[in-house]
């Protein structure tokens, strides 16, 4: 069984944020990588994730796990659009307790940009706590019932609270950003 983890890395002063996708087997073996970018403060993160999925072209991936719902400074993901494009379940796993993003969106944007982001944020599936290896993570999902979400997240989290596909994708995104800075 394989899952695709997606994570981002951002370096101060850049207009783009790096996305990395990592295909990881349930036994934690990394089985593929792909990269993309999305605009900081933009609205192209969902398209960037779908592009990474298309680039990988991996029909053997059963689940998509994303490590944020608002990468690149409130560039909100549409989990339902990603699930539809991927034709498989999507699980967002985040790692910090939060009162939500509405206040931040209201402070950062005005007019139509604010309205669109709030609408997209409110359309996301509900967020709920999940205990994994004595740690608490927060999950949202499209295409799976809660019990199945819990099983998938735990299956891909051999230790700690960060699922391995997201952990590897985060490392890959940071490494790509570090390399880009040197070029």
For residue 122, the domain's CATH number is 3.30.2170.10
**How many structural domains is the chain composed of?**
1
d(C-alpha 183, C-alpha 37), whole Å: 17
Confidence class for position 64, pLDDT limits 50, 70, 90: very high
Question: Can you tell me the mean pLDDT for 150-157?
Answer: 98
CA distance linking residue 46 with residue 50, whole number of Å: 6
- pLDDT, mean of residues 149-170: 97
Give the pLDDT score at 163. 98
Using a 10 angstrom Cβ sphere, with 0-12 exposed, 13-18 middle and 19 or more buried, the burial of residue 12 is exposed
- Examine the pLDDT at 181 and tell me if it is beyond 90: no
- The pLDDT value recorded for residue 46 is 98
Helix (H, G, I), strand (E, B) or coil at 12: coil
Q: Which domain holds residue 37?
A: 2-180
H helices of the chain, where?
A: 45-56, 71-74, 79-86, 102-108, 111-122, 146-155, 164-182
Asked whether residue 52 carries a pLDDT value surpassing 90, the answer given is yes
Separation of alpha carbons 111 and 83, rounded Å: 29
Q: Is the dihedral of CA 33, 39, 40, 41 positive or negative?
A: negative
């Amino acid at each position: 069984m394989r899952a695709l983890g997606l994570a981002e890395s951002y370096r101060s002063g850049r207009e783009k944020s790096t996305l990395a996708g990592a295909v990881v087997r349930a036994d934690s073996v990394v089985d593929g990588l792909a990269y993309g970018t999305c605009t900081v403060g933009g609205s192209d993160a969902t398209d960037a994730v779908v592009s990474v999925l298309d680039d990988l072209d991996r029909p053997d991936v059963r689940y998509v796990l994303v490590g944020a719902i608002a990468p690149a400074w409130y560039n909100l993901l549409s989990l339902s659009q990603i699930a539809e494009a991927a034709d498989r379940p999507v699980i967002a796993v985040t790692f910090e307790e939060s009162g939500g993003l509405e206040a931040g969106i209201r402070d950062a944007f005005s007019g139509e940009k604010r309205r669109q982001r709030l609408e997209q944020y409110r359309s996301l599936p509900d967020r709920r706590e999940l205990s994994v290896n004595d740690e608490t993570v927060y999950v949202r999902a499209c295409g799976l019932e809660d019990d199945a979400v819990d099983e998938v997240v735990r299956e891909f989290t051999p230790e700690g609270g960060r699922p391995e596909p997201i952990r590897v994708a985060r490392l890959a995104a940071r490494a790509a950003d570090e390399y880009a800075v040197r070029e």
